[in-house]
Structure formats: structure tokens, C-alpha cells
């Protein structure tokens, strides 16, 4: 049997060609695209300005990717919502909604599982299952928007998975997300976070998009980074920083560094000094995140004092720093925890 076409992953130009292949007039593409990306329907039957024959044809040849809300946890502290979505093949993924004064931000997954092996991360414990399609990425945002009945203004690709390990689908997703015929979210309101896959970071830079690149740095020396992140075996720390500089040169966008503070591992004064040296002169921002402990590992958060003095040391060197507010502390906060619990771990 021929595999069905995922039309929700197509941009308007591709959909036009596809409609012609189906023997339809190309203007139908715009109508179908509107149903998929503006009205966000979950079945072809709901596309009421199409003929019965076309709906039948779509049902026969295409799938309409629409994620099923399997569970949602709502934080009593800050209203953060953690969603578990069921995919058509039975896999589940997590997404998170965070409410800020400046708007609603959604954190999406880019893969089912992950093969990067970061030591402190729950998402990677069972390895990679597969990359998500562009439609599966964007539908996380559509479903959450519908669920809360409010506009989503910011998107971060910081959930489960390594977006640069699913690069083509990521680019397609960005195209759909920012398209004026869809949610029309500005590139500046999108952040993509990577563990540091250098060739893809450079390729992204050359696309000259206005999205924010976040690098998961987590250490200030190659030796320490290797202890936490196996990807450092492949891309040495200076090479990764160089790719960040290149991203800024190409796009003019300030790069963010994510630094999860782990007590006794990367939180000393010497670590802060070394970090300041490593990123000296860069137009950047550092996000300090006290590590979210997972039960499979023994990593613990530094106490408040240690976090403050780490921050202060960087600030003294003229570096922009924020300590990330922990959101949803009363729900399964850390990446991949909810999905693992669902799978019985
Ligand atoms: N693979 C991408 C995006 C997903 S991870 C990346 O590595 O950037 C999103 C962020 O959460 C990364 O900075 C990651 O290092 C961090 N992270 C994962 N598990 C964590 C934990 N238990 N505590 C704190 N940060 C964590």
C-alpha cells in the first residue's frame, strides 16, 4: 500500500503542486492550507468549502496529523502546563506552556527520545526513537493554543530531542510557524537550542534567519564538558564557541548560552572565571539553570548562595546573565520526566 502523504508538513507552494497532482485546481491549495494552519481542523470532513469528492480524495491519499492530548499537568504555583501528546504511531511526546507577562511561550519537542546522551537529562535515557515531522512539531503549538484559547507568542525548541539532529524537518517547521498564512510568529520570537552540532549550527547561520540560537554549554572547559555531554567528543568546546561567533556574524543575533549549574561539578568560582574567559567579547547572554535533578542520576542543585555568586562573577566581567526562574516545580519539570513516567519508568 502506498504511504499516505502528510500534507500538514507542506508549505503552500508544495501544496499547490500536490493539488495539481491530485487533479485539482491549484487555488484549492490555499483553502486546504487555511483549514490546516489557520482554522487548525482535525479532520478533512471539517473542510466545508471543499467538494465531497475532494474530501474523499484527501482521505484516501493523505493523513491529517493531529496530536491527541493524552494528559496535562497544571502547576498550582505559576500556571505552567505540561502536556503529553499521543502520536499516530503510538509514541508519546511532551510539550510545555509557560505563561509570562509578555505572553504565552510554548516549549516543543523535536524528536521522540534523543541520542545525544547528556548525563543530566531524562529525555536521552532510552535513546532516540525517531525525529518528529514538521506537522508533529507545529501541531504541539496548535493543540496548546486551542486548549487554552489564547494566542501563543513565543516558541522554544527546547523539549525532548536535538533539533539539529532533525535539521530538514526543523527548517520546514520554522517555515510553517512563521508563515503569514498560519500562526505568523516572528522569527525573533523563536529560539532553537542545541547541544552543539557544529556543522548544522554553521548551516543554520548561513540561512540568515532571525531566530535565536541557544547553545547548551554547561561547562567552561573541554574536560568538564566531556564529563556531562558525550557530544563534546565530536565537537571540541572552542569549535562550538567559534560556531556561535559565526552565527552572530552571519545573523546579527545575540547567542544564548544555557548553563545548568550542578553542585560540585561546574559551579565553582574558577568555573565562572573560566566561562567568562571562554566567551569574552561575545555579544551573548548566559542563562543559569540550577540542574533539575532526575532520579536516575545523583546530580544536585547548588544552594542559592552558590548560584548568586556564580552570577555575580560573570556580571563583574560585563556578561549578561539571568538565573532562569524554575517553572512548574510542582509538576514533572525536567525534560522527559513525564514521558518516562507514562512509559512506566
Ligand atoms: N537538545 C537540545 C534541546 C533540548 S534540551 C539541547 O541540548 O539544547 C533543552 C535544555 O535543557 C538544554 O540546555 C539541556 O541541556 C537542558 N536540560 C536537560 N535536562 C536538564 C536537567 N535535568 N536540568 C537542567 N537542564 C536540563
- pLDDT, tens digit (0-9, with 9 covering 90-100), for 285-300: 999 999 998 888 889 9
CB atoms within 10 A of CB 299: 18
Q: What's the pLDDT tens digit per position in 303-325? A: 999 999 999 999 999 999 999 87
**Using a 6 Å CB cutoff, which residues line ligand 1?**
116, 118, 120-121, 158, 162, 193-195, 216, 258, 260, 289, 291-292, 294, 334-335
How close is the Cα of 8 to the center of ligand 1, in Å?
A: 28
Last residue of a domain, one of 13, 46, 63: 63
Is residue 246 over pLDDT 80? yes
Higher-pLDDT residue of 330 and 184 is 184
Residues 98 and 229 in one domain: yes
How close is the Cα of 77 to the center of ligand 1, in Å?
A: 22
Residues 204 and 296 in one domain: yes
Give dist(CA 129, CA 282) in Å, integer: 36
Give dist(CA 332, CA 272) in Å, integer: 29
Residues 55 and 113 in one domain: no
R_g over Cα of the chain:
21
Give dist(CA 122, CA 71) in Å, integer: 19
How close is the Cα of 43 to the center of ligand 1, in Å?
A: 35
User: Atom 9 (ligand 1): residue with closest C-alpha?
Assistant: 158
How close is the Cα of 118 to the center of ligand 1, in Å?
A: 8
User: Atom 13 (ligand 1): residue with closest C-alpha?
Assistant: 216
Average pLDDT rounded to a whole number, residues 219-233: 98
Is residue 32 over pLDDT 90? yes
Active-site residue, 296 included: no
Cell numbers representing residue 24 in the block: 485539482
Average pLDDT rounded to a whole number, residues 204-227: 98
In the chain, % of residues over pLDDT 70: 96
Q: What's the pLDDT tens digit per position in 118-152? A: 999 999 999 999 999 999 999 999 999 999 999 99
Classify residue 177 by burial, with Cβ atoms within 10 Å: 0-12, 13-18, 19+.
buried
Q: Which atom of ligand 1 is nearest to the CA of 122?
A: 19
Residues 105 and 51 in one domain: no
Q: Which atom of ligand 1 is nearest to the CA of 121?
A: 19
Q: Where are the beta strands (DSSP E) in 217-309?
A: 255-261, 284-290
Q: Where are the beta strands (DSSP E) in 195-319?
A: 212-216, 255-261, 284-290
Is residue 157 over pLDDT 70? yes
Is residue 200 over pLDDT 90? yes
Average pLDDT rounded to a whole number, residues 329-338: 65
How close is the Cα of 80 to the center of ligand 1, in Å?
A: 18
| Longest Cα–Cα distance in the chain | 69
Residues 59 and 73 in one domain: no
Write the CB contacts of 150 (distance below 8 Å, at least 6 apart in sequence): 104
Q: Where are the beta strands (DSSP E) in the chain?
A: 5-6, 62-63, 68-74, 81-86, 92-100, 103-107, 111-113, 128-131, 154-157, 190-194, 212-216, 255-261, 284-290, 320-323
Where in the sequence is the domain holding 96, given as residue range(s)?
Answer: 68-342
Q: Which atom of ligand 1 is nearest to the CA of 258?
A: 13
Q: What is the pLDDT of residue 1?
A: 66
DSSP 14-57: HHHHHHHHTT--THHHHHHHHHHHTS--SSGGG-TTS-HHHHHH
Q: What is the pLDDT of residue 296?
A: 86
How close is the Cα of 47 to the center of ligand 1, in Å?
A: 39
Chain mean pLDDT for the chain: 95
Count of positions (residues) in the chain: 345
pLDDT band at residue 339 under the 50/70/90 scheme? confident
Average pLDDT rounded to a whole number, residues 36-43: 97
Q: What is the pLDDT of residue 325?
A: 72
Average pLDDT rounded to a whole number, residues 201-206: 98
Q: What is the pLDDT of residue 181?
A: 94
Residues 91 and 188 in one domain: yes
Residues 101 and 235 in one domain: yes
CATH of residue 22: 1.10.150.530
pTM: 0.96
Q: Which atom of ligand 1 is nearest to the CA of 216?
A: 13
Residues 118 and 220 in one domain: yes
Q: What is the pLDDT of residue 332?
A: 66
Is residue 188 over pLDDT 80? yes
Average pLDDT rounded to a whole number, residues 21-46: 97
Residues 249 and 296 in one domain: yes
CB atoms within 10 A of CB 53: 9
Question: Of the residues 216, 328, 338, which should be mutated to test ligand 1's pocket, given the most ligand atoms within 8 Å of the CB?
Answer: 216
Residues 111 and 164 in one domain: yes
Residues 73 and 57 in one domain: no
pLDDT band at residue 334 under the 50/70/90 scheme? low
What's the total number of domains in the chain?
2
- Least confident stretch, 73-77, 104-108, 111-115, 143-147: 73-77
Residues 338 and 202 in one domain: yes
Average pLDDT rounded to a whole number, residues 199-211: 98
Q: Which atom of ligand 1 is nearest to the CA of 159?
A: 4
Average pLDDT rounded to a whole number, residues 20-36: 96
Last residue of a domain, one of 44, 63, 82: 63
Last residue of a domain, one of 63, 86, 103: 63
CATH of residue 152: 3.20.20.70
Higher-pLDDT residue of 340 and 138 is 138
pLDDT band at residue 2 under the 50/70/90 scheme? confident
Active-site residue, 335 included: yes
Q: What is the pLDDT of residue 341?
A: 67
User: Atom 5 (ligand 1): residue with closest C-alpha?
Assistant: 158
**Among 24, 94, 136, 162, the one annotated catalytic:** 94
Q: What is the pLDDT of residue 329?
A: 72
Amino acid at each position: 500500500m502506498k504511504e499516505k502523504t502528510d500534507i500538514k508538513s507542506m508549505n503552500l507552494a508544495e501544496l499547490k503542486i500536490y493539488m495539481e497532482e491530485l487533479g485539482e485546481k491549484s487555488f484549492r491549495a490555499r483553502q486546504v492550507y487555511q483549514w490546516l494552519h489557520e482554522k487548525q481542523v482535525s479532520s478533512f470532513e471539517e473542510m466545508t468549502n471543499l467538494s465531497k469528492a475532494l474530501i474523499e480524495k484527501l482521505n484516501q491519499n493523505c493523513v491529517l496529523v493531529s496530536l491527541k492530548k493524552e494528559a496535562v499537568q497544571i502547576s498550582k504555583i505559576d500556571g505552567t502546563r505540561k502536556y503529553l501528546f499521543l502520536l499516530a504511531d503510538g509514541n508519546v511526546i511532551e510539550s510545555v506552556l509557560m505563561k509570562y507577562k509578555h505572553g504565552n511561550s510554548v516549549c516543543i519537542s523535536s524528536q521522540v527520545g534523543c541520542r545525544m546522551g547528556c548525563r543530566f537529562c531524562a529525555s536521552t535515557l532510552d535513546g532516540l526513537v525517531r525525529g518528529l515531522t514538521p506537522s508533529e512539531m507545529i501541531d504541539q503549538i496548535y493543540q496548546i493554543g486551542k486548549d487554552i484559547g489564547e494566542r501563543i507568542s513565543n516558541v522554544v525548541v527546547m523539549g525532548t530531542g536535538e533539533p539539529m539532529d532533525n535539521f530538514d524537518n526543523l527548517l520546514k517547521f520554522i517555515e510553517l510557524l512563521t508563515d503569514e498564512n498560519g500562526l505568523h510568529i516572528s522569527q525573533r520570537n523563536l529560539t532553537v537550542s542545541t547541544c552543539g552540532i557544529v556543522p548544522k549550527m554553521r548551516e543554520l547561520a548561513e540561512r540568515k534567519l532571525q531566530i535565536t540560537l541557544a547553545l547548551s554549554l554547561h561547562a567552561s572547559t573541554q574536560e568538564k564538558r566531556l564529563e556531562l555531554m558525550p557530544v563534546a567528543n565530536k565537537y571540541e568546546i572552542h569549535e562550538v564557541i567559534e560556531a556561535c561567533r559565526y552565527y552572530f556574524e552571519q545573523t546579527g543575533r545575540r547567542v544564548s548560552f544555557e548553563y545548568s549549574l550542578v553542585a560540585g561539578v561546574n559551579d565553582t568560582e574558577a568555573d565562572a572565571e573560566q566561562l567568562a574567559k571562554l566567551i569574552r567579547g561575545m555579544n551573548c547572554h548566559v542563562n543559569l539553570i540550577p540542574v533539575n535533578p532526575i532520579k536516575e542520576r545523583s546530580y544536585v542543585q547548588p544552594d542559592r548562595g552558590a548560584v548568586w555568586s556564580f552570577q555575580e562573577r560573570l556580571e563583574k566581567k560585563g556578561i549578561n546573565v539571568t538565573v532562569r526562574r524554575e517553572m512548574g516545580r510542582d509538576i514533572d519539570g525536567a525534560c522527559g520526566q513525564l514521558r518516562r513516567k507514562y512509559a512506566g519508568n
